[in-house]
Structure 1
Amino acid sequence: MVLENPENDDPGLLVQEIVRRIVRDTSKMAVSFTPELDVRPDLLGNFVGGQSYWSPQGVPVTSASGDPLYPLMQIRCTDPNIPGYPTQGLLQFLIGTDIMYGCDLSADYDSEVDNDNRCVRYIPEAPSVLDNSEIVRLPHIGTDSDPDLHTPFCSNFHGCALRPELIEDPVSHECDEFEPAYESVIAEFDPAVISAAESALGDLEQEVMDQLNVVSPGSWFQMGGHPVFTQSDIREDYDDELVLLKMDSYDDVLMWGDSGCANFLIRREDLARLDFSHVLYAWDCL
């Protein structure tokens, strides 16, 4: 297949067409969550952060040492939902309060089952109303708290609701899938057209990456779709791993180190079994 209208020598139009085809070939369904900073968290809904969360019998989730894990985010799986992911109940993400926020950079999927300093908890059936005895209140970790307690949340942030929306998420250039997708699309064009564009632009691939960033939905918090990395792709086999949650740094809400991002990745077979004990949790920054 060659470029439509090959007589057109506008390299900008070529970049747009390459990006369109990469989006076509790589987009995955996802749920994007937008913070509603002025809306208080609903402990039975979608929310990020906060001083309290709900737990049966009001018992906080703790590490083996007895330290409470801190509520990072909760997803209500009922609506909207995407194929292959839970369609009911709640997913809760809790992290440790050490300097790495409960992350073990040496962990893999199998060893994560032994990491008690983070937790992904699935609650298949959520009640319609909470009793006060089920609400766990943890101290807000901010500038005046114990200096040995750490979270990625900004000190003046006390949690907010999240507005979900279905999106189509194309691959980003930070993912290993980008390069084969780019090469596959480039092969669809006349080599002379590609060569002329390279001469005119200097770096065609960089132009494509820049334009792909422009057209991508730019979700800050997301379930499904593609992960996001600031340094390099940490996955070994991206064909069999799904994004349970990705969280980018977001001004006035949370900051992963120096403008970093976090990913919670799960193997397809584990998600099908609703087994969240092997979720790979990692974050990196600039």
Structure 2
Amino acid sequence: MTYEIPELLKEHENLIQGTLRYSNEIRFKREETKPWESKLGGCPYLKSIEDYPTDENGNPMLFLAQINLVDLENLDELPEKGLLQFFVANDDLFGLEDPIRVLYIEDYEENEEHLVKKHPYENEEYNRSLPFSHNGKMYFTSREMPMSSSLELFQDTFMKLSEVEYEKLSDDCYSSDSRIGGYPYFVQNDDIGFDDGDFLLLQLDIDEECGIMFGDSGNCVFSIPKEALKKRDFSKVVYDWQCC
């Protein structure tokens, strides 16, 4: 599915098409997952409890999501295989002001007997800290999307459009929903300055099935420079979440 340019904007078709990027939209279902599957919450792929990430003070981090890269389509910037895991500090701000951990596991095994089956730190208090109420399995749909109207780059790119044209394109380019690739949606401001040289590693947005919500109607974004992604340097990932 690709963005269909309306008649009002046909004059700017080439400009708009030049911003198109593939995105894998995420749909969640409350289903049990195997250790290596794409998931929201639950137990990450672990060979040993000792492998579970901790923050600078040695406290277990919050496990947000895991992506099995084999599930994705049309995202050439990413490795063809492996797992990506997303962890943030366990605090009142969902780790906003603390270092995050994005782990890339290139090779994994699919023998559950050799793997940790239950989250080693999950309890009632841990679950209350999560920005979602239910764990779930991820399903993906690939589509091409135009640049998000919430980016500063959008204003620079389309500044020559008329007021009516600009408002129409802005309305069409509302990039909410959870996704990998494509463009992020910022509830308030593009504080990370997402541009052509960046890749959207993960966006988790409001979802009723699993009760995702950061703060008051908010979402989160994990972004990485494409050059760092090429080198598989996930220490360069930038994390932000915003709410109303």
**Normalized against structure 1, the TM-score is what?**
0.73
1:40 corresponding residue in structure 2: 32
1:267 corresponding residue in structure 2: 225
Alpha-carbon distance in structure 2 between the residues aligned to 1:85 and 1:268: 9
Over alpha carbons, which structure has the higher Rg? 1
Q: Which 5+ residue runs of structure 1 have no aligned equivalent?
A: 1-11, 108-114, 187-193
Alpha-carbon distance in structure 1 between the residues aligned to 2:16 and 2:111: 42
Residue 106 (structure 2) pairs with residue 145 (structure 1): no
For residues 16-38 of structure 1, give each alpha carbon's deviation from its aligned partner in whole angstroms, at most 9, with x where no partner exists: x368666423110122221123x
Alpha-carbon distance in structure 2 between the residues aligned to 1:21 and 1:212: 16
Q: Which deviates more from structure 2 when the two are superposed, residues 124-133 or residues 94-103?
A: 124-133
Alpha-carbon distance in structure 1 between the residues aligned to 2:11 and 2:89: 43
Q: Which 5+ residue runs of structure 2 have no aligned equivalent?
A: 1-5
Residue 237 (structure 2) pairs with residue 276 (structure 1): no
Residue 172 (structure 2) pairs with residue 243 (structure 1): no
How far the C-alpha of 1:238 sits from its partner, in A, is 1.5
Query: Structure 1 residue aligned with 2:182, among 196, 213, 225?
Result: 225
3-state SS in 1 of match to 2:102: strand
How far the C-alpha of 1:41 sits from its partner, in A, is 2.1
Alpha-carbon distance in structure 2 between the residues aligned to 1:173 and 1:237: 12
2:58 corresponding residue in structure 1: 66
- Kindly indicate whether the alpha-carbon contact (under 8 Å) linking 1:261 and 1:283 is maintained by their aligned counterparts in 2: yes
How far the C-alpha of 1:164 sits from its partner, in A, is 1.5
- Kindly indicate whether the alpha-carbon contact (under 8 Å) linking 1:58 and 1:136 is maintained by their aligned counterparts in 2: no
1:8 corresponding residue in structure 2: none
Aligned-partner residue type, residue 170 of structure 1: P
- Kindly indicate whether the alpha-carbon contact (under 8 Å) linking 1:58 and 1:133 is maintained by their aligned counterparts in 2: no
How far the C-alpha of 1:210 sits from its partner, in A, is 2.0
Structure 1 residues 237, 246: CA separation in 2 closer, same or farther (over 3 Å shift)? Answer: closer
Alpha-carbon distance in structure 2 between the residues aligned to 1:163 and 1:126: 20
Residue 117 (structure 2) pairs with residue 135 (structure 1): yes
- Kindly indicate whether the alpha-carbon contact (under 8 Å) linking 1:25 and 1:181 is maintained by their aligned counterparts in 2: no
How far the C-alpha of 1:169 sits from its partner, in A, is 2.0
2:152 corresponding residue in structure 1: 176
Alpha-carbon distance in structure 2 between the residues aligned to 1:255 and 1:79: 24
Residue 167 (structure 2) pairs with residue 206 (structure 1): yes
For residues 211-264 of structure 1, give each alpha carbon's deviation from its aligned partner in whole angstroms, at most 9, with x where no partner exists: 444xx6x5x221111111011112346232211111112224211111111111
How far the C-alpha of 1:122 sits from its partner, in A, is 0.4
Aligned-partner residue type, residue 152 of structure 1: P
How far the C-alpha of 1:181 sits from its partner, in A, is 2.9
2:67 corresponding residue in structure 1: 75
Alpha-carbon distance in structure 1 between the residues aligned to 2:159 and 2:171: 16
Alpha-carbon distance in structure 1 between the residues aligned to 2:225 and 2:191: 14
How far the C-alpha of 1:133 sits from its partner, in A, is 4.9
3-state SS in 1 of match to 2:129: coil
2:215 corresponding residue in structure 1: 257
2:45 corresponding residue in structure 1: 54
Residue 96 (structure 2) pairs with residue 103 (structure 1): yes
Q: Tell me the number of residue pairs that the alignment of Structure 1 and Structure 2 aligns.
A: 236
Alpha-carbon distance in structure 2 between the residues aligned to 1:162 and 1:127: 19
Instruction: State, as a whole percentage, how many aligned pairs show the same letter.
Output: 24
**Normalized against structure 2, the TM-score is what?**
0.85
Structure 1 residues 169, 146: CA separation in 2 closer, same or farther (over 3 Å shift)? Answer: closer
Aligned structure 1 segments of 4 or more residues deviating by more than 6 angstroms? none
Alpha-carbon distance in structure 2 between the residues aligned to 1:223 and 1:207: 25
Query: Structure 1 residue aligned with 2:143, among 167, 172, 177?
Result: 167
- More RCO (CA 8 Å, sep 6+): 1
How far the C-alpha of 1:140 sits from its partner, in A, is 4.5
Aligned-partner residue type, residue 63 of structure 1: D
Structure 1 residues 271, 212: CA separation in 2 closer, same or farther (over 3 Å shift)? Answer: closer
